[in-house]
Structure 1
């Protein structure tokens, strides 16, 4: 009986954590359509947070590759006073990157809706 109650409490806690993180991410990160992204990414710091092998297989023209796994160590490469446009393959890693950047002073954060796999613009292969 106690095991069942503990399991229910843990399940509810995990669900609440993910709901909290979802709404927190929505508050700090603007999700842009491809058209909105195209309109502003040349005036911003365009960061591809995918791994180097994914970046090498194709990326948005003008993007810098700072993988999510290296982001904490490379925070100094990103200026907090300029807009930051992020993208990954589908949108989940860019959300986590935005949370880390927000903690470190970046306030103008946007990411590509659907990630690179939804991108229809120019790429460099």
Structure 2
């Protein structure tokens, strides 16, 4: 599945759309700034597989600070049978940068 751009993500959040949205950063990063996603730090993802199991065929959007950790999360989930995992390109850094440019 294709990655998701910060523009597409913002449109969906602005509309109040409900989707499976996971933030794989650490708790302190999440507390400092978050987009309202469910927090599951990358290192804890394997412990949450059972809980995420019902979402195997649903779209899951993962994000982190820059897109690197969420890319790893995407690969991990896909390797465990999740069919529709999308990584937010550029992460929260790109998201905030886009917001600043839009003013």
| Alignment TM class, shorter chain as reference | 0.7 to 0.9
Distance 1:56 1:40, change over 3 A: same
Please list, as runs of the form range in 1=range in 2, the aligned pairs for 1:69-108 lying within 5 A after superposition: 69-78=43-52, 79-108=55-84
Gaps of 5+ in 1: 1-28
Gaps of 5+ in 2: none
> Within the alignment, does 1:38 sit opposite 2:37 as a pair?
no
**Aligned counterparts of 1:107 and 1:40: Cα–Cα separation in 2:** 20
Greater C-alpha Rg: 1
**Aligned counterparts of 2:7 and 2:77: Cα–Cα separation in 1:** 24
The match for 1:67 is 41
2:44 match: secondary structure: helix
Once the two structures are superposed, what CA deviation does each residue of 1:20-39 show, in whole Å capped at 9, x if it has no partner? xxxxxxxxx52222222234
Query: More strand per residue: 1 or 2?
Result: 1
**Which shows bigger deviation, 73-82 or 99-108?**
73-82
Q: RMSD across aligned C-alpha pairs, in angstroms?
A: 1.7
**TM-score, normalised on structure 1?**
0.66
